[in-house]
Amino acid sequence: MRLPDLALVSLTALAPLPAMAGVTEAIREHILPAVEDFSVAAGDLAKTAADDCTAETLRPAYRQAFDAWMGLSHLSFGPLETDGRALAIEFWPDPRGMVARTVAGMTADADPVVDDPESFPEVSVAGRGLMALERLLYDHALSGYGAGDYNCRYAMAISADLSRMAGEILADWREHAELMRTAGAEGNARYMSESEASQVLYTALLTTIEFDADQRLGRPMGSFDRPRPTRAEAWRSDRPLRNITLSLKALRGLAVTLSDDPIPVTEAAFDRALATAGALDDPLLSGVETPQGRLKVEILQQQIRAVGDATRAEIGGGLGLSAGFNSRDGD
């Protein structure tokens, strides 16, 4: 009689708690690899720039770094939010045109801060990161600089700053991962219960699905009477559709690892949206200006919203999570 009891006890002790299994898997298979990839890509960008900061040389490394950034940009809590890192890495959306204004101000004044790596992190977030670098590399009025010119040194400073932030994010994520794994443990003020770690990942997942539909697609769509293709994300470097595809792939990775149960409906919804994005021959989303092109973008938008519905039902339902008692309520 005693033996089975003991066996039962030890089995229970060994079995991972339901909410934590997905978190551990998401950290190991989704988050840390993405954070490491970004730190490598940003490091390559900085090394390339240190050797030769001219636009033509730097563009491939910029594209690699932006691609890698799309693998983790949805992790909008903890390490990415410290000191506004996420916006310092990618200042978008930018309805005020702050990137253009800040970059113009820096170059007009030939602000010497670009030669001082210690002080450069104090530059406004709009004058740093991938969007400021995009201006220098792809805006024809700015990109024709030669080695040693101000813009070249500015591009070098942005690249080094990106590499620094990517390194800090990697170091912080290794610590933060431990906080998430020990959610609910005595003394863990960040995650007060086991379910809070999965809740944060679930919220990041849902928020970014909405961001892809409402911002990445919604901004260039504008209104039917007034489409705004130049409000698309990173259109100067041909990235609007590419970023949506990369974002959906990253979100799919998070969804699959986070859920403890199979999520066939959510996976099918992701695959449908990814197939539509893959078949959309409109990298800049400039088709929003024609009725047919707009319809295609609208279909993609609806399919991304369907991913959100599937996620709520399958993953939220499965983990017993819901989004925002207060954040979805007004007043």
Partner 1 sequence: MIGRRNFIAALLAGSVVPRLSWADAGSPAILGAAREGDGGYALFGIAADGGDCFRIPLPARGHAAAAHPSAPEAVAFARSPGRFAVVLNCVTGEVLTRLVAPEGRHFYGHGTFIAGGDILCTSENDFGTGQGRIGLWSRSKGWRRVGEIPTHGVGPHEIKHLPGDVLVAANGGYRNHPDRPGVKLDVPEMRPNLAYVSPDGELLEKVELDKDLHLNSIRHIALGRDGLVAFGMQWQGDPALGMPLMGLHRRGEAAVLDRMPVYEAVAMRGYVGSIAFDAERRRVAISSPRGGRVQVFDDTGRHLRAIEREDVCGIAPATRGFFLSDGLGGLMRAGEELHPLAKHRGRAWDHHLVPVMV
The footprint of partner 1 (CB under 8 A) covers 77-78, 81, 83-84, 86-88, 93-96, 98, 124-126, 189-190, 192-193, 195-196, 199-200, 203, 215, 324-327, 329-331
User: Quick one: 122 or 281, whose CB is closer to partner 1?
Assistant: 122
The nearest distance, CB 141 to partner 1, in angstroms, is 25
User: Quick one: 46 or 80, whose CB is closer to partner 1?
Assistant: 80
The nearest distance, CB 169 to partner 1, in angstroms, is 15
Quick one: tokens of 62?
């910029």
The nearest distance, CB 125 to partner 1, in angstroms, is 6
User: Quick one: 56 or 331, whose CB is closer to partner 1?
Assistant: 331
User: Quick one: 176 or 294, whose CB is closer to partner 1?
Assistant: 176
User: Quick one: 30 or 231, whose CB is closer to partner 1?
Assistant: 231
User: Quick one: 64 or 203, whose CB is closer to partner 1?
Assistant: 203
The nearest distance, CB 195 to partner 1, in angstroms, is 8
The nearest distance, CB 200 to partner 1, in angstroms, is 6
The nearest distance, CB 217 to partner 1, in angstroms, is 15
